[in-house]
Structure 1
Amino acid sequence: MSDPYLTLGLPPDADDAAVYAAYLAAVKTCPPERDPQRFQALRTAYESLRTHRARLATALFNQEPPTLLEVLDRADPVGAPRRPARALFDALLRGGD
């Protein structure tokens, strides 16, 4: 499962109003008719963060390790011209070189 905060572009300390505003802004830029898969990812992220109780449950129970693509997405700085080489992350994940 991808990080719902990353999906909605929120900081980890966001409140209910900020989560709702981010969800509405994301849906306006990507309505369900345009990209149903992206909309479903936004909806899932919103459902897991919409209340304080849901955010707490997400923090406590979503302990899946990130996939390599999620690691690459997080390591990619905003505005970077390209992603770092995949070989670099493979080496980092192996713990060598």
Structure 2
Amino acid sequence: MTDTIRAIIWDLDGVIIDSAEEHKRSWYRLADEEGLPFSDQQFHDTFGMRNDAIIPILWGITDKKRVQELADKKEAYFREFVRDTAAPFQELLNC
């Protein structure tokens, strides 16, 4: 076994880029398309959690296949939104 680092995985979301608004927009879009309730308070209460944990909390959906389907849709919406708007945290720009 070697001591050489061969790869590094970076988690940039919420660390280097500010993507909260894109996450919120994607949750609102999902909720609207599915006819489910959603509010800013629900977003703030669950922000930072995994989608598969959020969906049962918000909407009581526990079927794993349905949860995954909704989580995948939400992530597709997020990627669509963040592709055009992602920006680094201002604090990083001032370093």
TM-score, length basis structure 1: 0.26
Query: Which of 1 and 2 has greater Rg?
Result: 2
TM-score, length basis structure 2: 0.26
Higher relative contact order (CA 8 A, sep 6+): 2
